[in-house]
């Protein structure tokens, strides 16, 4: 078989472990693998490279993706869909493994319905795909965020400051919740629950009344004030209709300082959460996903996505994979609230 693999959407640690696993498993079984550069853009522009054992040697601990990525959506232009279908046939592909989040896998589902042989692998640091317990990249992101929060505790305490830490999370606050719990945050704000400024300030003042002269507030980038508006950096949309988020941290810090009179600073972790070497968990999970995805291809079981449920790697339909986002478990958030203020 001639198998292609692409990585789309935001990069994250663990992508290379998937690529390596697909190549090793496929070649061990006597098959050929080609990489599509820069996500769906590469399939539109006929941009590929041959993947062999040498090309994936040493990439396991490397962050990002050796194939490159983009947020290209071929369904924005009918001619691009046509090019994807034509190039798939021109490459004489037996199957395509698409590694990505909701947007990338949404395109995969549509192309699967067009007759392409596609298998999906779930990837997002936001951990917001409902058909899998965990996506690779998430564990690395929360470990990075936790380390940053740990470091901010000491400077916040030294200067008697409030520090607002803005983390990623467009519609789901998994990173904020888990990194906030692990890092001992005093307030955690997520997209699932509108931000009540009065309550935030009350929690901070309560700490001060107990003799604590500093606080750490963790907020997801997609959190909304009670008025219902996201804070965005600009109104321009990407090809999947997403606005560029960011700015909630600064807006929150300004209001908190004004209402409490406590000196407040903001730290935006941004793409730091995506960068660097993946954790052991993400390396293992990415490897397991890559091997299972290749097995599905070899068995000609297409239109499916690999998934972690419990400690087992199973398969679900692409339809189920993208039907809804997985938001924060409120039972977990209630545990986090035990430590607020």
Return the active site residues.
126
Count the helices and strands in the chain (H runs, E runs). 11, 13
Kindly state the tokens that stand for 15.
């992508």
- Angle, CA 114 vertex, CA 108 and CA 117 arms, to 5°: 60
* Cα torsion angle, 144, 150, 151, 156, sign: positive
Rounded Cα–Cα distance for residues 76 and 288 (Å): 33
Rounded Cα–Cα distance for residues 305 and 131 (Å): 9
Contact of 236 with 244, CB cutoff 8 Å: yes
H-helix or E-strand spanning residue 7 = strand 2-7
Query: Edge-to-edge strands of the sheet including 264-268?
Result: 187-189, 215-220, 162-167, 264-268
* 182 contact partners, CB below 8 Å, separation of at least 6: 142, 146, 149
């Amino acid at each position: 078989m001639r198998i292609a693999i692409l990585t789309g959407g935001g990069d994250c640690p663990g992508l290379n472990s998937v690529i390596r696993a697909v190549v090793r498993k496929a070649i061990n079984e006597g098959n050929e693998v080609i990489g599509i550069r820069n996500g769906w853009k590469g399939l539109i522009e006929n941009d590929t490279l041959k993947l062999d054992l040498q090309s994936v040697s040493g990439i396991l601990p490397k962050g990002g993706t050796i194939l490159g990525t983009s947020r290209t959506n071929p369904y924005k232009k009918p001619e691009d869909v046509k090019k994807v279908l034509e190039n798939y046939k021109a490459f004489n592909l037996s199957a395509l493994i698409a590694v990505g989040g909701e947007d990338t896998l949404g395109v995969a589902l549509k192309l699967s319905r067009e007759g392409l042989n596609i298998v999906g692998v779930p990837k997002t640091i936001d951990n917001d795909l409902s058909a899998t317990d965990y996506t690779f990249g998430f564990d690395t992101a929360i470990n990075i965020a936790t380390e940053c929060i740990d470091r901010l505790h000491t400077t916040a305490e030294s200067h008697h400051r409030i520090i607002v830490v803005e983390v990623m999370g467009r519609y789901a606050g998994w990173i904020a919740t888990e990194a906030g719990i692990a890092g001992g945050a005093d307030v955690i704000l997520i997209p699932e629950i509108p931000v009540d400024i009065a309550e935030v300030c009350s929690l901070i003042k309560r700490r001060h009344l107990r003799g604590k002269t500093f606080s750490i507030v963790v907020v997801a980038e997609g959190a909304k004030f009670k008025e219902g508006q996201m804070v965005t950096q600009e109104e321009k949309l990407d090809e999947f209709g997403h606005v560029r988020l960011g700015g909630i941290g600064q807006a929150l810090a300004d209001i908190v300082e004004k209402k409490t009179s406590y000196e407040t600073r903001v730290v935006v972790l941004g793409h730091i959460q995506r960068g660097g070497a993946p954790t052991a968990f993400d390396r293992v999970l990415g490897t397991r996903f890559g091997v299972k995805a290749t097995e599905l291809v070899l068995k000609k079981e297409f239109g499916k996505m690999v998934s972690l449920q419990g400690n087992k790697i199973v398969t679900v339909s692409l339809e189920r994979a993208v039907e809804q986002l997985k938001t924060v478990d409120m039972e977990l958030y209630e545990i986090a609230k035990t430590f607020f203020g």
